[in-house]
Amino acid sequence: MARLVLKFGGTSVANLDRIRNVARHVKREVDAGHQVAVVVSAMAGQTNMLVDLCRQAAPLHDAREYDAVVASGEQVTSGLLAIVLQEMGVNARSWQGWQIPMRTDGAHGAARIGEIDGERLIERISQGQVAVIAGFQGVAPDNRISTLGRGGSDTSAVAIAAAIKADRCDIYTDVDGVYTTDPRIVPTARRLDRVAFEEMLEMASLGAKVLQVRSVEMAMVHGVRTFVRSSFDDPDAPQTGIGNLPPGTLICDEDEIVEQQVVTGIAFAKDEAQISIRNVADKPGVAHAVFGPLAEANINVDMIVQNISPDGKTTDITFTVPETEYDRAMKVLEERRESVGFGAIEGARNVVKVSVIGIGMRSHAGIAAQCFRGLAEKGINIRAITTSEIKISVLIDSAYTELAVRTLHSLYGLDG
């Protein structure tokens, strides 16, 4: 017998038929003798509709009331799933974030989880009752409902799994696992049986959309083994994957992965923009003068390249920001042209970041050289480069995205 947390996303609970299918997955685990807690998202499209209603009501609305409105989507789903489970003969009840309680900070609309008291949940599920929990929500210090930001149900599920010391957190989604890259671009992409926490964190932050970054961070910190699988699989099908699990991907400690490939996957992010500042005086403090105001404006800077002129008097600084922050970043820098003292500012939105990821890169030399040679042979120019122990990221023109991803996927032997 195991203690499991099952999380179902919006597409998995999009209507009553799909909720009934979800209930069959839950009942299968209950019938197998497991203790089960379930975390659900709002029905597909519901959160967007509720957000739009808030904006229509008032463009500058109260964030606390916004949370009260948008959290209702998960409340509906949790209640409906509990009703369906009861109809199937499963002892189940719904829980809201404040009933657990899941305590967060006061950043309404983008709250972070502080602590979860899992004792009541443990008591109920130990007695055989299924807890159906509204994801995405908690209770702020002011005792108002808070929400965790988009994708927050994944984070809720992992946090609850940590709080109740679950053996595993199963994330049911509309794909059957984590792939070496996006199968829509590379049809020969393979589903990975196991991925290390650190690799998954890099893949999630660099463009893979399977899991929300904060949920992977929490899983890694608390050592929550996380299994990504499809909710559209037949609930009654034999469990034929790794460790008597169905097809999917287990995200776990590096120690659980016996045979680790040098490169695990290729990720890409299209939501990047490049900014270049030309002829900046090369003197102490200039980098702070450029990046300090961006930090104060809460604009995240990613890749940074600095080139010093031959005479050593000026420098060019190139960096990337999220594409959605491009206009705001340009405005912040233009306002400080005189204080920073740069000659010109240039930008480009038509760029993409492509990343090679793998914990095996720590012990193998020449991985970066292979990447650069492979792209050069295809005539792909690299605008910027960043590296870490387990990743290489290059910034290229967006027109070459698919060619670059396919080239690197084949280069590192990832084709199925």
The answer to whether 47 is annotated as binding is yes
The answer to whether 179 is annotated as binding is yes
Site of tokens 């680790």: 260
- Cα–Cα dist 401/66, whole Å: 38
The answer to whether 74 is annotated as binding is yes
The answer to whether 283 is annotated as binding is no
The answer to whether 347 is annotated as binding is no
The answer to whether 142 is annotated as binding is no
The answer to whether 209 is annotated as binding is yes
The answer to whether 7 is annotated as binding is yes
The answer to whether 87 is annotated as binding is no
b/e map 307-342, b = 16+ CB within 10 Å: eeeeeeebbbbbbbbbbebbeebbebbeebeeebeb
The answer to whether 9 is annotated as binding is yes
Residues in the chain: 416
b/e map 228-239, b = 16+ CB within 10 Å: bbebebebeeee
Two structure tokens written together for 37: 């807690």
Contact 75, 43 (CB under 8 A): no
- Cα–Cα dist 192/48, whole Å: 32
The answer to whether 90 is annotated as binding is no
The answer to whether 378 is annotated as binding is no
Nearest to 345, CA basis, from 337, 353, 354, 355: 337
Two structure tokens written together for 349: 């939105």
Q: Which residues are annotated as a binding site?
A: 7-10, 47, 74, 173-174, 179, 184, 209-210
Q: Which residues are annotated as a binding site for ATP?
A: 7-10, 173-174, 179, 184, 209-210
Q: Which residues are annotated as a binding site for substrate?
A: 47, 74
